[in-house]
Chains A and B, each alone.
Chain A
Amino acid sequence: MLVEIKVPVLAESVPDATLLEWRKKAGEQVERGENLIDLETDKVTLEVVAPDSGVLVEIRKQTGETALSHDVLAVIDTAASAAPTSAPAAAASQTADAVAAAQAAAVRAGPAARKLMAEQGLAPSDVPSSREDGRITKGDVLAQAARPAAAPVAAAAAPVTAMPPALLDAGARPEERVAMTRLRKRTAERLLQAQQQAAMLTTFNEVNMQALMDLRGRYKDDFEKRHGVKLGFMSFFVKAAVEALKRFPVVNASVDGEDIIYHGYFDIGVAVGSERGLVVPVLRNAELMSFADIERQIAEFGKRARDGKLTLEELTGGTFTISNGGIFGSLVSTPIINPPQSAILGMHKIQERPIAERGQVVIRPMMYLALSYDHRIIDGREAVQCLDTMRQCLEDPGRLLLGV
């Protein structure tokens, strides 16, 4: 039986997907559940698995092509089997010889070409030779790697561990042209759009983290023992943001044409860095979540962002976003709104600074807060007070308990 392999249903906000590298060739045996190819969309990478075991008889869309929901990518014949099981022994040994000879021919490439192929994820069969004798030169591999269709983002060699990039020779001035990944392209578009369409500005405040740190220090062991997840600062910020958004609903609203849509729920996007770029998974109904729920969910998001396993649903929607530049060491910055949202909170690094407290200069762990907002619908007073409410809740976490 022939089974079509189709593009899974993409979310409404995702127009199409780009095919990354096929992991199987036409004619190869595939097992049910085996990952055949990854599709890259604006937001996530999707795996397409074989719905049944069989032979991949036809590939209809090639690496680098674009596909829509329900498009047929390939066809599997579930009745066929890749290896002729009943072939006589002599024929089998002939085949083996031919295979060996083909393999021998396949390695007709020098050490530099072989290394480059390994790093680019290219098989010798992927690289057309420029020579009459079929030998693959380094130049052939470079040429193949430069062809757009054969240069998927996934081909870039992942370091053994994150390490500083190689220092360049002082004399060399190399350049490299790399096609933006879809994720990067989409990010670029959206950021530019936000800059152009919103009347964006940023208000700042600073928060004394002493009380929060004391509280966390006191309960972090108990918290972890009871909930099985570490107590971080993010849950406090999410809680403080929800509390402040409740008091200033317009900061949680969005613009739709000439209307303002007020959301009666608080879906908080939490920006997470991943190897493929920045992604913003969303905590749904954060107002209903406990501290432990929030911490657990964020830890889960982080893990799945690293594995590229976040789903489209988890990345879409959101009524407000929290971005933490502090983990990279940022002291102060102006985050950009994630449209159609109207505001975003920027957290920064905690730095011990001298401040005045009851007439005394004391050293306190301080963090700058930034709230970027769309001035079209949010007035300065609301933005400033909203941010100050967050500050108060963070400096005196008891307020979160009492809603004051």
Chain B
Amino acid sequence: MEHYDIVVIGAGPGGYVAAIRAAQLGFRTACVEGWASPAGEAALGGTCLNVGCIPSKALLDSSHHFEHMAKHAKEHGIQVTGLGMDVPAMQKRKDKIVQTLTQGIAGLFKKNQVTWVKGTGRLAGGNEVAVMDAAGKETSRLSGTHLIIATGSVPMRIPCAEVDGKRIVDSTGALAFDAVPKTLGVIGGGVIGLELGSVWRRLGAKVTVFEAMPEFLSAVDRDVAKEAQKLFTRQGLDIRLGAKVLSAKAGKDGVALEVELAGKTETLAVERLIVAVGRAPRTEGLGAAEAGLELDNRGFIKVDASFRTNLPGVFAVGDVIGGPMLAHKASEEGVAVAEMIAGQKPEVDHGHIPWVIYTWPEIAWAGATEQALKATGRAYKVGKFPFLASGRARAMGETDGFVKVLSDAADDSLLGVHCLGPNASELIAEAVITMAFGGSAEDIARTVHAHPTLAESLHEAALGTDGRMIHL
């Protein structure tokens, strides 16, 4: 049996990053991953690269270009005739991107001398990991002085809408449609539902989003959520809040839906249905119960502040331990665990993790929302700057949305930044770094920003907390 300093179970953004960092620190490292691509090839990268962040962004970009050509090219003076959408070509491009990136990780493993053990890792007692094939048969076994579990998450299932992979699909299926459905239902108005709903709406589907909560994007700052709802509705997304899907039956031509809305039961028919109601920790096949690994009541692996599970020498990171199910959160935790094992004292700044929803305009935020500050009774200042007043946004023709800055009323420390607008996902980085340094709104206000850029809008919003915006 091969022995390693560190064995990582799972090669998603938590696992593969942990493995590379561990190898950089001089540990003999193995990473066990049994993901198979649709073509049946073993692939690294987990959900994020194979059926998550990356393929969805590929489709979001393709569909964004298409919509831009169809709706906005004209205002730039571009005449477009004979515009059409070749969905298989778009999918091929997406598959190629995924393939390139997952192979890229295999290259990084090679470069860093991380051993990729193909198969599904299962805790086999003590510090041993059994490697199982797709049929669930043990093919080999390895041991590690330290084990890091990074098995990620899977789409959550609901009994009223059983995923059949054809008419009713989860996020994975929704990334692989070979044609644009005429009508598309989406159960779940969260990040995944909105992004995938946007892709197919832009390409021509009539999309209805059923959200059980009475509020749109309840975790998001209210200002942002309200404005986003208005914009998405204007774009053609039919958002039904407080909608409870009672049943979804797949037939030959589509799906028959029974939805309870404001006390009334409606029946609807859609060609395809996406179930995007959240994600659950992936511990199946890990042998958690047999190994005595402690899980919480929702099935997440219990860890302490240093990501230690109840089993000696066994750590866990990423989606499988709960918290924000974000690739970048998992990666940071993976790095931290590897460094802790090496005796360093890293911290994962869970209070300042950026969140992004890749709709258009994009939604991005970090830190506290205004409603959260109100709830805790903290005195704060607000600065808000609309992209309508930004020269760059005007030039781009992307004037929807705004940047909102929240800072402490007493010491001006930056508490939250919320952005709805073009490239919000990139703009938020500046806010996160300021918060990481314990910076104030004035720190942003006193920092020179290039002109003309979208980042100037954050600068103006920061000035706004002090009531001294220049361009509004």
Write the residues of chain A forming the contact surface with B, with a CB cutoff of 8 angstroms. 101, 104-105, 107-111, 114-115, 118-119, 135, 157-161, 163-167
Which parts of B340-367 form the interface with A (CB within 8 Å)? 340-347, 349
Whether the Cβ atoms of B343 and A157 lie closer than 8 Å is: yes
Chain A residues near B342 (CB-CB < 8 A): 159-160, 163, 166
For chain B, residues 1 to 58, give those with C-beta under 8 angstroms from any C-beta of chain A.
Answer: 5, 24-27
* Interface hits, B397-436 → A, CB 8 Å: 410-411, 413, 436
Contact A163 B5 (CB under 8 A): yes
Chain A residues lying within 8 Å of B26, measured Cβ to Cβ, are 163-167
B341 and A160 form a contact (CB under 8 A): yes
Q: Which B residues lie within 8 Å of A107 (CB)?
A: 438
Instruction: Say how far B135's CB is from chain A's closest CB, in angstroms.
Output: 36
**A165-B26, A166-B24, A166-B25 as given contacts; A110 in contact with B345, CB under 8 Å:** no
Q: Are B438 and A157 in contact (CB under 8 A)?
A: no
A-B contact pairs, 25 of them (CB 8 A): A101-B411, A105-B411, A107-B438, A109-B437, A110-B436, A110-B437, A111-B349, A111-B436, A118-B345, A118-B347, A119-B345, A157-B343, A157-B344, A157-B345, A158-B343, A159-B342, A160-B340, A160-B341, A160-B343, A161-B341, A163-B5, A163-B145, A163-B341, A164-B5, A164-B27
CB distance from A283 to the nearest CB of B (A): 34
Q: How far is the CB of B116 from chain A (nearest CB, A)?
A: 19
Most buried by B among A118, A135, A163, A167: A163
A117 CB to closest chain B CB (Å) equals: 9
Given A101-B411, A104-B413, also A163-B437 (CB < 8 A): no
Q: Is the CB of B347 within 8 A of A108?
A: no
Q: Number of contacting residues on B, CB 8 A?
A: 21
Contact A104 B438 (CB under 8 A): yes
Instruction: Summarize B's interface: helix, strand, loop or mixed.
Output: loop
List 15 other contacts, CB 8 Å, given A160-B343, A163-B26, A164-B26.
A101-B410, A104-B411, A109-B437, A110-B436, A111-B347, A111-B437, A115-B344, A115-B347, A119-B345, A158-B343, A159-B342, A160-B342, A161-B145, A164-B27, A166-B25
**Binary A-proximity of B326-346 (CB < 8 A = 1, otherwise 0):** 000000000000001111111
Partner of A119, one of B344, B411, B436: B344
Residue in B closest to A164 when the chains form the complex, CB atoms: B26
| Complex contacts, B411 vs chain A, CB 8 Å | 101, 104-105
CB distance from A106 to the nearest CB of B (A): 9
Given A119, A135, A164, A166, which contacts B437 in the complex, CB threshold below 8 Å? A135
Compute how far the CA of A105 lies from the CA of B342 in the bound complex, rounded to whole angstroms.
30
Contact of B343 with A115 in the complex, beta carbons under 8 Å: no
Contacts of A160 in B (CB 8 A): 340-343
Q: Is the CB of B5 within 8 A of A115?
A: no
**Minimum distance in angstroms from A227 CB to a CB of chain B:** 29
> Most B CB atoms within 10 A — which of A104, A108, A160?
A160
Residues of B within 8 A of A110 (CB): 436-438
Nearest A residue (CB) for B6:
A163
**Distance to closest chain B CB from A121 (angstroms):** 9
Taken together as a complex, chains A and B put the C-alpha atoms of A259 and B38 apart, in Å, by: 88
- Taken together as a complex, chains A and B put the C-alpha atoms of A164 and B349 apart, in Å, by 27
Specify which of B145, B341, B345, B346 lies most central, judged by the most chain A CB atoms within 10 Å of its CB. Answer: B345
Provide the residues of chain B in CB contact with A158, threshold 8 Å: 343
Q: Please give me the residue from chain B that is nearest to A133 by CB atom.
A: B443
Interface string of B274-308 (1 = CB under 8 A from A): 00000000000000000000000000000000000
| 8 interchain residue pairs of minimum CB distance | A159-B343, A118-B345, A167-B26, A108-B438, A110-B437, A166-B26, A166-B25, A119-B345
Complexed CA–CA distance, A166 and B343 (Å): 10
Residues of B contacting A167 in the complex (Cβ-Cβ under 8 angstroms) = 24-26
Cα distance A164–B27 when bound, in Å? 7
Task: Please give, as numbers and ranges, the residues of chain A lying within 8 Å of B340 by CB-CB distance.
Answer: 160
CB neighbours (8 Å) of B25 from chain A are 166-167
Q: How far is the CA of A91 from the CA of B347 in the complex (A)?
A: 34
Task: Give the complex CA separation of A135 and B344 in angstroms.
Answer: 23
**Which residues from A are CB-within-8-Å of B438?**
104, 107-110, 135
Determine the chain B residues whose CB is within 8 A of the CB of A164 once the complex forms. Answer: 5, 26-27
Residues of A within 8 Å of B341, CB to CB, are 159-161, 163
Task: Enumerate chain A residues within 8 angstroms of B343, measured Cβ to Cβ.
Answer: 157-160, 163
Query: B4 → chain A, closest Cβ, in Å?
Result: 12
The smallest beta-carbon distance between B28 and chain A, in angstroms, is: 8
A164–B413 Cα gap in the complex (Å)? Answer: 41
Bound Cα distance from A110 to B26, whole angstroms: 26
**Nearest chain-A residue to B343 (Cβ)?**
A159
Cα A160 to Cα B304 with chains together (Å): 15
Q: Which of B5, B343, B346 has the most CB of A within 10 A?
A: B343
A374 CA to B344 CA, complexed, in Å: 45
With both chains docked as a complex, state the minimum distance between the C-beta of B306 and any C-beta of chain A, in angstroms.
9
Set of chain B residues within 8 Å of A109, measured between Cβ atoms: 437-438
Distance of A107 Cα from B344 Cα, bound (Å): 19
The interface residues of chain A lying within 8 Å CB-to-CB of B437 are 108-111, 135
Q: Which of B184-214 contact A (CB under 8 A)?
A: none
Minimum CB–CB distance for B435 against chain A, Å: 10
In residues 434-448 of chain B, which contact A (Cβ within 8 Å)?
436-438
Cα of A118 to Cα of B145 in the assembled complex, Å: 25
Contacts of B347 in A (CB 8 A): 111, 114-115, 118
**Most B CB within 10 A of own CB, among A110, A111, A165:** A111
Residue of B24, B342, B438 most packed against chain A (CB within 10 A) = B438
In angstroms, Cα B12 to Cα A167, docked, is: 25
**Closest beta carbon of chain B to A217's beta carbon, Å:** 27
Query: Given A101-B410, A108-B438, A160-B340, is A115 in contact with B27 using a C-beta cutoff of 8 Å?
Result: no
How far does the alpha carbon of A109 sit from the alpha carbon of B347 in the complex, in Å? 13
B333 to A: closest C-beta gap in Å: 14
A167 to B22, CA, bound (A): 10
Q: Which residues of chain B are near A165, meaning CB under 8 Å?
A: 26
A225 CA to B345 CA in the complex, in Å?
43
Contacts of B344 in A (CB 8 A): 115, 119, 157
- Chain B residues contacting A105 (CB-CB under 8 Å) are 411
Q: With A and B bound together, what is the CA distance between A167 and B113 in angstroms?
A: 12
Which chain A residue shows the least CB distance to B346? A115
Report chain B residues within 8 Å CB of A166.
24-26, 342
Q: Give every chain B residue within 8 A of A104 (Cβ-Cβ).
A: 411, 413, 438
B433 CB to closest chain A CB (Å) equals 8
Residues of chain A within 8 A of B27, CB atoms compared:
163-164
A107 to B24 CA separation, bound complex (whole angstroms): 29
Name the residue among B145, B341, B344 with the largest chain A CB count within 10 angstroms.
Answer: B344
Contacts of B130-156 to chain A: CB distance below 8 A: 145
With both chains docked as a complex, state the minimum distance between the C-beta of A276 and any C-beta of chain B, in angstroms: 16
Are B345 and A115 interface neighbours, CB within 8 A? yes
Contact with A along B171-184 (1 / 0, CB 8 A): 00000000000000
State in angstroms the CA–CA spacing of A114 and B348 once bound together: 11
Closest to B113 in A: A167
**Complex-state Cα separation, A158 to B342, whole angstroms:** 9
Q: How far is the CA of A158 from the CA of B341 in the complex (A)?
A: 10
- Which residues of chain A are within 8 angstroms of B413 by Cβ–Cβ distance? 104
Instruction: Tell me, in angstroms, the Cα distance from A110 to B432 when the chains sit together.
Output: 11
CB distance from A92 to the nearest CB of B (A): 18
Docked Cα-Cα span, A119 to B342, in Å, equals 12
Nearest chain B CB to A293's CB is how many angstroms away? 33
- How far is B340's CA from A118's CA once the two chains are assembled, in angstroms? 12
Q: A residues within 8 A CB of B346? A: 115
Nearest CB of B to A179, in Å: 20
A166 CA to B410 CA, complexed, in Å: 44
Residue of B nearest to A120 (CB): B345
Chain B residues, CB < 8 A from A101: 410-411
